[in-house]
Amino acid sequence: VTGAFRAIAALVAFGLLYLPLLAVAAYSFNAGKYGYEWKGFTLHWYGQLGDERIIAATWHSLALAACSTTVATPLGTMLAIGLKRAAWRPRSRALAEGLVNLPIVTPDITFAAALAAFFLVLRQALEAAGVRLDWLTGGLLPMGIGHVTFQVSYVALVVAARLAAIGPEQEEAARDLYASSWTFHRRVLLPQLMPAIAAGAIMAFILSLDDFMVAFLLNNGPGSLTLPVLIQSSTRNQGATILALSTLVFAGAVVLVGAFAMLARPSPAGDHR
Amino acid sequence: MADHHRSIWPALPALAIIAVFLALPLALVSAIAFCQHGAYGEIEPSFTLDNLARLWSPGVMGGRADFPPILARSAVIAGVATLAAVALGLPLAFWIAAGGPLRRALGLGLVTVPFCTNLVVRTYGWVVLLSSKGPLAPIAHALGLIGPYEGLAPSLGAELIGTISSVLPFAVLPLYASVERLDRSLIDAANDLYASPPRVFRHAVLPQIMPGLWVATVLTFVPAVGLFLVSNMLGQNHMLIGELMQQQFGVARDWPYGAAIGLVLVLLSLLGLAVAARRMRALEGLP
């Protein structure tokens, strides 16, 4: 009974996730320009994708996600370990946990608006002091700073959820066997955390790729236009071309996540089954 | 058990990043919420409580943009979507975790993929599916759900389906992280003692996945509250809190009022999180 219930829930969940994507993919081959009604098969919209703006936006999005994830994953993992396993004074712990939770509890629109305002005020203050930093208020670098800021918390959260389930017995056992702290972390802790770290990295990458608000408010023109901003700004007037672009993004995501999922498979040491 | 190798330093770089690029900007915005705005939308550094007072005085904005009903509506939609996403995500996480390496890798990947596709696009997919000329309309008509030439959207149901669909992965990923490392021996022991399935779940499974459940709830609710794009495209004509705030920072050029709305959003989220954090600490055996 339980097995059937789970399978049905899985079916419903995957239906909710994939029906709209399948609709987008199907209607990208629709001869009618504005979706909705089926008017016959065409590849016409895919021919429109060589556009410079589309290629540039794709590159910006991928570079931004790759760089921010590379920075945020180790920092987030260290954050989880330092937070969960160190002996903090209660007040410092409450403060640190509050900081970690802040990016998660702050709605993206509040975060993006606050960050944009902060960079603007900072730039004006620096200009008053005689330092000119034009890149501060817009472009891929401030976007990357914004992405890392929320990514570290999500990575830490995913890793910490797993860390919480690893009891102190293992460390005591390791110590009884005269394992050094380094050996314990590398041989005992990290292998068990690996699936969670990989899941955290996937989440971070996805959050960066999917981010619209930060990229929208910190974008400073064609040089930092990302895919979500491009797609958002052209759903109304570009019609089916955007459906074709979205279908390719979707196909790319399938390949990418497939590769990640292979890498994220639990290592033998971390597999309990 | 405080020994030298359990030091706090690994946490510090990430904490510094969050302090400088989020806590500080939020403090700045909070200060702006108490400022007046000038005739051209500029921020004037003089103290006022007007922006916060406007949040509780219905009628100031006139009808559609009244704050209290907008807040209530946003919270209800996000709450229902969160409950549905967790209720659906938990059995899904169990289904993925119960499989072999292939199902687990594939299942996790399949949950992740829709995320990599922009929210606008996924919502546009629902608009196509649920419109009067879309493929689902004839089926719904045959079932007597809608009349001829009618679509399934815009409606409250469409709005909820779109919202659940967009936040579902936020619930599944943390749930899976905790379900995946369930201690099977406790469940086997309970089964050996002839515990009924509900009792096994309550006493052997639930306590183990509780941290994951709380994390999933918080992680799902927060993006859901700020979300307004889905409701915009699939719902009937009403505003949600995210859209109201965006308007203040955008077309309305009323940054102090927008900042006041942002302040309410942050305080609400912190409240929910304080509740969740206390439960999580208790379950981890920490003070």
* ipTM of the complex in this document: 0.83
Asked if A24 has any chain B CB less than 8 Å from its own CB, the reply is: yes
B33 to chain A, minimum CA–CA distance in Å?
12
Contacting residues of B for A156, CB less than 8 Å apart: 14
B146-150, B191-195, B239-243: lowest mean pLDDT where?
B146-150
Residues 6+ apart with CB under 8 A from B259: A113, B29, B30, B32, B33, B51
Asked if A173 has any chain B CB less than 8 Å from its own CB, the reply is: no
Asked if A234 has any chain B CB less than 8 Å from its own CB, the reply is: no
Which one of A16, A86, A103 has the shortest CB-CB distance to B165? A16
Residues 6+ apart with CB under 8 A from B228: B74, B239, B240, B241, B242, B243, B246
B2 pLDDT higher than 50 = no
Between B24-33 and B255-284, two packed helices, what is the crossing angle to 10 degrees?
A: 130
Asked if A252 has any chain B CB less than 8 Å from its own CB, the reply is: yes
pLDDT at B4: 47
Q: End-to-end alpha-carbon separation of chain B, Å?
A: 15
| DSSP-assigned letter for residue B117 | S
Q: What is the pTM (predicted TM-score) of this model? A: 0.76
> How many residues does this entry show for chain B?
287
Residue to mutate among A105, A178, A243, with most B CBs inside 10 A, is: A105
* Distance (Å, whole) CA B274 – CA B287: 14
B65-88 mean pLDDT: 89
A146 pLDDT higher than 90 = yes
Pick the residue with more confidence: B17 or A112? B17
Which one of A105, A227, A265 has the shortest CB-CB distance to B222? A105
Q: DSSP letters of B250-270?
A: TTT--HHHHHHHHHHHHHHHH
* Distance (Å, whole) CA A50 – CA A54: 7
pLDDT band at A13 (very low <50, low <70, confident <90, very high): very high
Distance of alpha carbon A176 from its chain centroid, rounded? Answer: 40
Pick the residue with more confidence: A190 or B274? A190
Which one of A5, A22, A81 has the shortest CB-CB distance to B91? A5
